[in-house]
Amino acid sequence: MSAATDHLDAYWMPFTANRDFKKKPRIIKAASGHHYTANDGTRLYDTFSGLWTSGLGHCHPKIVAAVQAQVAELDYCMTFQVTNDKAVALAERVVGMAPEGFSHCFFTNSGSESVDTALKIALGYHGARGEGNRTRLIGRERGYHGVNFGGMSVGGIAPNRKAFSACLLPGVDHIRHTLDIGQNAFSRGLPQHGANLAEDLVRLCTLHGSSNIAAVIVEPVAGSTGVLPPPVGYLERLREICDAHGILLIFDEVITAFGRLAKPFGAQRLGVLPDIITIAKGLTNGVIPMGAVLVRDSVYDAFMQGPESMIELFHGYTYSGHPVAAAAGLATMDVYEEEGTFEQAASLEQHFEDLLHSFSDHKHVIDVRNFGLMGAIEMAPRKGAPGARGSEAHKKCFWDENLVIRNGMDTLQFSPFLNSDPDEMQQSFAAIRRVLDSIE
């Protein structure tokens, strides 16, 4: 091993080709606003706002100050049997922004934990109501719900599941994904074709017996699989089928909450209300890990039965409602409100859409998809080397254009800052065009 890579050896990177990365590492040491600073001092524009996390930009002074003050005031406090003032305040704040009827919030530390918590709540809800036979969970192909055993099982990203296939949760099935490039290529916003794919849930109701199904979980706009906005009418139909069969509908809003769709929650933008919502990422602008699960009152109320001295839900994490994370969350909510972030996001959508779709004529590009400030440019795989184009584009953007972009195989994904500068956005796409032109 070369000297350059020795010091990296101890570090096993997540979701990364470690050996390839360590040959020529890309290490960030600082960030401010819309830019990172690399180890060698180079400033890089961040087209992914963290990892869908940091819509307000990096190191927002108000959030930094809140975290600094909190860590000196109350560094930690258990939230089992006692709790802290910031967790209480943040729960109230978040439910205040949520759709009507979501009055309760359970804290976790990540999206993966939020998803597993939501699945457990769904099972507990049915049990509490005397429908303990409802144990089946339904996900969707290409869904990403984190990497814990529950989320991985309802998730539908094949490579994430493959190595663990014998140990996935039993009783899980998946409805079909909604990507149909044949009919919907280069759609702007929600695609027109595909509402009928929701009928796949009816098929699973018939197959498994709908009275055995506890919940269906979907991302309202699938994110990490390469941005799949729901076809017009699709989510409405899922809601109808769930209602008809007593099945809980879970929206995994880890990406779509907090302004990505120009509203506090994607459910509000899309006009379809689930029963349970999972969040993370934008809850603290990515500054401190934190997630949460919001539930409809009917779900919460089902647990609040029996003796008052009894624990209603045997679940929680050491760091659920961590005071420093909660302080970051409160400051983040303040900034969203004070800076009118969700309105800013709305005002950027058309510009973002136009920039993305300017790639429609590119020789490598087979589809462009977008909704809100979520976007993807899908390239055809190079013959015999799937993923090579995406990976080369990522590296070239970093080294040649001072740009951090995200690729999943040959699909480039975009999560611009909610307060992006339209010129910077334009320049970043001009740079990406140069890179795509230069790769084979």
| Residue closest to ligand PXG, measured at CB | 111
What is the pairing mode between strands 374-379 and 365-371? antiparallel
Count of Cβ atoms closer than 10 Å to residue 81 Cβ: 6
- CA 97-99-103 angle, 5° bins: 75
User: 124 or 408: whose CB is closer to ligand PXG?
Assistant: 408
Smallest distance from ligand PXG to CB 146, Å: 3
**Strand partners of residue 213:** 136
Smallest distance from ligand PXG to CB 69, Å: 25
- Summarize the chain as % helix, strand, coil (round to 5): 40, 15, 40
**Strand partners of residue 428:** none
**Which residues here bind ligand PXG, judged by CB under 6 A?**
51-52, 110-112, 115, 144-146, 219, 223-224, 252, 254-255, 280, 406, 408, 413
Residue pair 147/160 in contact (Cβ under 8 Å)? The answer is yes
User: 219 or 353: whose CB is closer to ligand PXG?
Assistant: 219
User: 284 or 344: whose CB is closer to ligand PXG?
Assistant: 284
Rounded Cα–Cα distance for residues 425 and 421 (Å) = 6
Smallest distance from ligand PXG to CB 239, Å: 19
Residue pair 320/109 in contact (Cβ under 8 Å)? The answer is yes
- CA 127-239-156 angle, 5° bins: 80
Rounded Cα–Cα distance for residues 88 and 86 (Å) = 5
Rounded Cα–Cα distance for residues 416 and 374 (Å) = 8
User: 205 or 281: whose CB is closer to ligand PXG?
Assistant: 281
Smallest distance from ligand PXG to CB 111, Å: 2
What is the pairing mode between strands 276-279 and 291-295? antiparallel
User: 217 or 302: whose CB is closer to ligand PXG?
Assistant: 217
Smallest distance from ligand PXG to CB 403, Å: 16
User: 357 or 394: whose CB is closer to ligand PXG?
Assistant: 394
Rounded Cα–Cα distance for residues 109 and 149 (Å) = 16
Smallest distance from ligand PXG to CB 218, Å: 9
User: 143 or 194: whose CB is closer to ligand PXG?
Assistant: 143
DSSP labels, 71-132: HHH------SSS--HHHHHHHHHHHHHSPTT--EEEEESSHHHHHHHHHHHHHHHHHHTT-T
Residue pair 390/409 in contact (Cβ under 8 Å)? The answer is yes
Smallest distance from ligand PXG to CB 14, Å: 8
Rounded Cα–Cα distance for residues 87 and 99 (Å) = 20
Smallest distance from ligand PXG to CB 25, Å: 19
User: 218 or 345: whose CB is closer to ligand PXG?
Assistant: 218
User: 224 or 344: whose CB is closer to ligand PXG?
Assistant: 224
Residue pair 375/48 in contact (Cβ under 8 Å)? The answer is no
Smallest distance from ligand PXG to CB 115, Å: 5
User: 48 or 429: whose CB is closer to ligand PXG?
Assistant: 48
CA distance from start to end of the chain: 30
Rounded Cα–Cα distance for residues 32 and 37 (Å) = 8
Smallest distance from ligand PXG to CB 48, Å: 8
Smallest distance from ligand PXG to CB 77, Å: 23
User: 49 or 79: whose CB is closer to ligand PXG?
Assistant: 49
Give the three-state DSSP class for 253. coil
